Amino acid sequence: MDTQKELFRIGNGPSSSHTMGPQRAAEKFLKKNSDADKYVVDLYGSLALTGRGHLADVIIKKTLGEQKTEVRFFGELFYEYHPNGMKFFAYKDEILTDEWLVFSVGGGALKELNEPRDTHPNHFYRFKTMEDIMSYLTIQKISFLDYIYESEDRDILEWAQTTIDAMFEAVERGLASIKEVLPGPLKVRRRAPSIYGKFQKSTDFNTLVFAASLAVAEENADGGVIVTAPTCGSSGVVPGVLYSYFKTETVSKEMLAKALLVGGLFGNLVKENASISGAEVGCQGEIGTACSMAAAALTYLRGGSNMQIEYAAEIALEHHLGMTCDPVLGYVQIPCIERNALSAKRAIDSSNYALLTDGKHYIDFDSVVTSLKETGKDLNAIYRETSLGGLAKVNVNHD
Ligand code: SF4
């Protein structure tokens, strides 16, 4: 299982698979073919169907050069390996000099055709399942955090603190934004600043959670800098919960960084054993995973036992199973933005619930991850980030 540094990435929204991934791919291709005088980039499957709304073409052209680059869309062509395929072509004097087929597999990560998803097998973490991790923790009498420290590089806590800072900067930018309308034809209005104004009058915790998670989701929709947690579309859930806790309880940034790492362990397991890509498994893999990570992090902060932390993460993920990905017009706005706020609240409820128990429960985290993967495979393709079905077909009044 990979390092958490590959899970939480700082970068521009609105989509880790449709914006960050293509941007990284374009940067790599440009480095190798800097002397080309023309680039053609073909987008396939989900990348083609929602690429415009997710600004995939804009970021590719910006990276390779507006004048030299043509982006073509082939929405009917799905590779079995992953639905987010793209092929780069480089030309010099009209002669093809290089081509590269690559896939944006979620969270900004790239893979080549048939490349194993985990390129560092067991390099960072010894165990691939929560069952194995839990037995190890029990035998060793250690915490999740101890296991994370054993597994990651020595600077992991410092890195997590920087990541928390980037998350909170996105929250505060979103809360203070004076831009009223988000880009795109839906003309979606930012709500975080006004809801934050209501929090300042009422000091109601839930109002702050809504405001903080919306703030990041709106920044993301505006192409601002956010942290994938685990993706761009779901980037508001974890910071929404952690920021609200930070503002209303006495807790250090170091503790928050530790909590982030505990939450990240659960996100990493979903990434490893199922998928965090909406194009592959629907929104359950994005928002469901984010909710699970936030629930685990919060339960850790509140002093939960290993079993209670695992239970909170399991509840949060279990009750997102089957959630479809159907962004209206392909923009990461409706239902995505609101979904971040509601899932942040659900993460808190999952933590509350788990803390009311001794942590024993019937369905373990690994089983939910397996169900998520199977459910994702069974979901009709129209519900996997193609904007061809579900809410994406609803006629939204945007005047
Ligand atoms: S519906 Fe969910 S998975 Fe799909 S783009 Fe929106 S946040 Fe991402």
Average pLDDT over every residue of 164-173 = 98
**Residues 241-272 pLDDT 10s:** 999 999 999 999 999 999 999 999 999 999 99
Cα 234 to ligand 1 centre (Å): 7
Q: Print the SS3 string covering 224-267.
A: CEEECCCCCCCCCHHHHHHHHHHHHCCCCHHHHHHHHHHHHHHH
Give the other-Cβ count within 10 Å of 1's Cβ.
Answer: 24
Q: What's the predicted TM-score (pTM) here?
A: 0.92
Q: Residues 270, 316: contact at Cβ < 8 Å?
A: no
Q: Residues 54, 392: contact at Cβ < 8 Å?
A: no
Q: Do the strands 69-74 and 85-92 form a parallel or antiparallel pair, or are they unpaired? A: unpaired
Pocket residues: Cβ below 6 A from ligand 1: 233-234, 278, 283, 286-287, 325, 327, 332, 335-336, 339, 385
Average pLDDT over every residue of 48-71 = 93
206: left (phi over 0), alpha (psi -120 to 50) or beta: alpha
Give the other-Cβ count within 10 Å of 358's Cβ.
Answer: 10
Report H helices in the chain.
Answer: 21-32, 45-49, 56-64, 130-140, 144-151, 156-175, 192-202, 205-221, 237-248, 253-273, 278-281, 287-301, 306-318, 336-355, 365-378
* Mutation probe of ligand 1 site: the residue of 18, 47, 333, 385 with most atoms within 8 A of C-beta: 385
**Residues 105-132 pLDDT 10s:** 987 889 999 888 665 555 899 999 999 9
Domains and CATH numbers, the chain: 10-111 (3.30.1330.90), 130-393 (1.10.4100)
Q: Which atom of ligand 1 is nearest to the CA of 278?
A: 3
3-state DSSP call for residue 279? helix
Identify the CA nearest to 152 among candidates 305, 7, 34.
7
Give the per-residue pLDDT at 45.
94
* Mutation probe of ligand 1 site: the residue of 287, 333, 386 with most atoms within 8 A of C-beta: 287
